[in-house]
Structures are given as C-alpha cells and as structure tokens.
Amino acid sequence: MIAAHLPALQVVIPLIAAPLCAILRRGTAAWVIAVAANWLAFAVSIGLLFRVLDEGVISYAMGGWAPPIGIEYRVDLINVFVLLVVSGVGAAIIPFARKGTEARFDSTNQAWFYTMYLLALTGLLGVTITGDAFNIFVFLEISSLASYVMIAMGRDKRALTAAYQYLIMGTVGATFIVIGIGLLWAMTGTLNLYDLAQRIPDIENTRPVLAALAFLTVGISLKLALFPLHLWLPNAYAYAPAVTSAFLAGTATKVGIYLLLRFFFTVFGGGGFFLSTPLPEMFLVLSIVAIFAASTVALFQNNVKRMFAYSSVAQIGFITLGISYATETGLTAALVHLMNHAIMKAGIFMLLGCVIYRLASMRIDDMAGIGRKMPFTMAGIVILGLSLIGAPGTSGFISKFWLVLAAMENGQWWLVALIVIASLITMLYVGRLVEAAYFREPSEKAKNVREAPLAMLIPAYVLVAATIYLGLDTTWSAGLAQDAAASLLSAAY
C-alpha cells in the first residue's frame, strides 16, 4: 500500500512538514520535524531505488488523474539516483543545522529557516521526480524562492546583495525555462515529458523547437552555474549560512545537471541528437574554461568559503565535461562525479561551518594554525580535500578515473593531460589551506578556539566516511550510474 504511493510521499512529506514548522514557531520542534521529514524522504528514496531496480520505470498518476492530462510522477534509474543524492545529502546536513541556527537566530526565525529548508528540499525533489514539464517549472520556483531566503539569512551584509543577484539570475533562468517549455507545448500540444519524447523527434529540426532548446540550454546552464553563467554562485555560497552553502552545493546545482540530462537526452532523443547539435563542442570548451578559470581564481581567494565556491564552479566543469562526450563512459563519469562531488562539497562546507562556529571568520589568515586547535575538523577537511584532488582511496579518484577513461576512449590524450593539470591546481589551493592550518603559528583569533561540538562533527563525518566508502566500493555510485548512462543514451524512459 505505502510502496505504491512512494513517489507521491517523496514530495508530500517535506511539503507538509514545511508549514508545520511555520505554524509551530518553535526552533527545537521545527528542527525535530525537519530531521524527521528529511530522514523519511531519504528512506522513501531508498525504497524507490529498490522498486526501480526491481520492476523498472515507475509511473505514478498524481491524484489518480491519468497522464498525459494529469500530472505524472515518473521514476527511472536516472532520477532515483539524483533523488538519493539530494535527500541523502540533506539527511546528513539537517542534524548539523541545529547548533549553527541556534547560535544565530531566535526561536521563531529558526522555525522559518527550517520551513525554507524543507520547501527548498520539496522543490528539488519535485523537480527531479516529476514527469511533467510545467510541474518542473513550478517546483523549480519553489526551491529557488526558498533558497533566496536561505541565502539572505546569512550573517554577512553582503548576503543580501548575493541573494538579490541570485534572485534576478534565477528568475531569468526560470523564465527562459518556462519560455522553452511553452514553445515545446505550442509545437507538440503536450507537457508530459514522456509524450514530448515521443513527439519531438519528428519535428526536432523546426525553428521553434530549436529556439526552445536554446532557451532551455541557457536557462538550465544558469541554474547549474555553467561558466560564464556562474557569476551568481560564488557570493551566494560565500555569504550564505553554512547550512545553506552545504545544502545548495550538494543539491541545487546537481538537480540542474539532472534537468540538462533529462531534456537533452530523454526528451530530445538520446545520444544521437545531442551529438548532431553543436552542444558537445560548446560544452567541451565551456567546461575546460570553467575548470581552469575557476580553479585559478580559487587559488588566489582569501576567503576560504569563496575559494571552495569557485572550486564548485570548476567541479561542475568536470561534470559537464563528462556530459560533452555523450558516451556511456562520459555520462557515467558525469553521474558518478555528481554524486561524489555533492557528498564531498557538502561535507567541506559543513566542516567550514564548524570553523565559523568557533572562529567567526573565513579569512585564510585567521585560520592559520587551526589544525592544532580543531584537529578533527581540519582532518575532515583534509580528507575531503584529498578527494577533491582525486587521491586514490577517496571517491574523487573514482570520478577522475572515469573521466580520464572517457577522454582516452575518444583518443583525446591532451584532455587527459588537462585533467591531471587541473587536479594539480586543486592540490595547490587545498594545499594553501593545509599549509595555513598546520604549518603556521596560530593567528590571534585562532588562539582561543576549541574543537567544534560533536553535534556538528558527527554529521560532517558521516559524509567524510561516505567519501572514503565510495572510493573503495563503487557499487552504489558507478554501478548505478553506468546503467543510468546507458538508458540516457538510448533515450529509454
């Protein structure tokens, strides 16, 4: 009985929990509800995964209205993979949120924060699970509006400007997406993704469809912060509260990647169509520029959080680089890195949250000598940093391995060299932090700090453990991603 309604529960649980938090107006109660809702959502994702593995694609008619008239929730390997990442990363973040929010907000505002968090989670899960194009837009707006608020709640004054800029850019992106969807609707008369996928191949070289594709490309690129449309991201991540940064870095851009894959491959007809457009070349160039420009900027940043925000832009470049191949190995690399990067970057921002909690600063000079004062926090950052570099034994190595494999399959050896060089730049900026934290005398600020509370460390270390686990056992990352990549290429839905 419950198993049959899992697709609906995935969205409904956080959606109902959100207003509950708002009504209760009590920080602690709201937190308990948020944790419960998020963990339940994660459990539902796992349940969905096993159902999909068991019986293939699940089609769920919302409210009993049969598709294509009614809204259909359609779960296949690709979106259940992303659902797992989003709800899983959220499930690790939300217990961590308690200490930070308690220290910052009064009880009512804490409740509002959790409300916004749950709404953002609802939106992201909804975007991922729905099989209806307009529904995608609706959920995207829900998650975006909630995340603007979450960013604006940052302690830094600049958080307001950052949220405002994100709002403008996000709205432009959403508008572009809705224009694209509108054009598709005008040409095919349907909003159901499955129907679209059936009808578009016949008319895919008509101008309105191509215009729709252009709008969708730019709109989604904005959401996933593909260079040069990443400009909103560094400030938004840097000045938002740590919980927000961790959550957005782990989930929001990843859902953008999902949308890109869903539209380009499933709706527009698999790998063949993708390769017939100029997209592979565009993505290849933009990805490489993203990797190198953003990594280099990260190298010179003095604000550690901003440094890792730029690092996110570079890592997204790695994911889109994998997509640009449109081969099974390439898409596997993209999906594997989607999962691995979500986990490690969320973990890094959480541990940076621990540092802020004690040190109240993100300047690299203030973090000097903090390795001795906060040994566990810094050890976690070092492990995740190693994963970011791609050291063997961590999940980042698996990502890089698949990416290099994809490049070699295409005979692009120069790209292998570029990937290695990019890893070296990553090593440099991570190394800069390690140098400051371990090899310098403690700064004035760092002298009086102590280790972060366990309530913050334990959730972060869950992600550290996951990073190491996924570096050793790839059944749940590469194993699933490979099957998902195959179905993307054949446009099976």
Partner 1 sequence: MIEFPPGLILILGALPVPFLRGPVRTIWMLALPVAAFVLLYSLPEGNHFAISAFGQQLELLRVDGLSKVFGYIFLIAIFLGVIYSLHVRAIEEHVSGLVYSGAAIGAVFAGDLVSLFVYWELTAISSVFLILASRTPEALAAGMRYLIIQVGSGVLLLAGLIMIWHETGSIAFEHIGIESVGGVLILLAFGIKAAFPLLHNWLQDAYPQATPTGTVLLSAFTTKLAIYALARGYAGTEELIWIGAVMAAFPIFFAVIENDLRRVLAYSLNNQLGFMVVGIGIGTELALNGAAAHAFAHIIYKALLFMSMGAVLHRTGTVLASELGGLYKSMPFTTVFCIIGAASISAFPLFSGFISKSMILSAAAHEGHYFVWGVLLFASAGVFHHSGIKIPFFAFFAHDSGKRPKEAPLNMLIAMALASALCIGIGVWPSALYAILPFHVDYVPYTDSHVLSQVQLLFFSALAFTVLMRTGLYPPELRSTNLDSDWLYRRVGRSILQYCVQTVGSMHSGIYDLVVRRCKRFVEQLYRHHGPHGIIARTWPTGSMVLWVAILLVTYLALYFIDIF
List of residues contacting partner 1 (CB under 8 A): 161, 164-165, 168-169, 172-173, 176, 205, 207, 210-211, 213-215, 217-218, 221-222, 228-229, 231-232, 234-235, 276-278, 282, 293, 296-297, 299-303, 310
Phi, psi of 360 (to 5 degrees): 60, 30
* CB nearer to partner 1: pick between 35 and 299: 299
Length of the chain, in residues: 493
14 residue type, one letter? P
- By C-beta, is 142 or 169 nearer to partner 1? 169
Q: Give the span between the Cα atoms of 355 and 99, in whole angstroms.
A: 12
Structure tokens at 165: 């800029």
One-letter amino acid of 299: L
Instruction: Judge contact between 454 and 354, C-beta under 8 A.
Output: no
One DSSP character per residue, 201-230 reads HHHTTSHHHHHHHHHHHHHHHHHHT-TTTT
| Least separation in angstroms between CB 278 and partner 1 | 4
DSSP state of 364: T
Nearest CA to 310 among 246, 225, 395, 434?
Answer: 225
Contact 215, 176 (CB under 8 A): yes
Q: Could you give the CA distance from residue 83 to residue 477 in angstroms, rounded to a whole number?
A: 13
Could you tell me the smallest distance in angstroms from the CB atom of residue 281 to partner 1? 9
Q: How far is the CB of 74 from partner 1 (least distance, A)?
A: 27
CB of 277 to partner 1, least distance (A): 6
- Smallest separation, CB 245 to partner 1 (Å): 17
**Smallest distance from partner 1 to CB 75, Å:** 30
Shortest approach of partner 1 to residue 169 CB, angstroms? 6
Toward partner 1, which CB reaches closer, 198 or 303?
Answer: 303
Q: Residue 10, Cβ neighbours under 10 Å: how many? A: 28
Q: Give 9 or 172: the residue with its C-beta nearer to partner 1.
A: 172
Nearer to partner 1, 285 or 472 (CB): 285
Nearer to partner 1, 144 or 221 (CB): 221
C-beta of 24 vs 286, nearer to partner 1: 286
Q: Is residue 231 classed as helix, strand or coil in its secondary structure?
A: coil
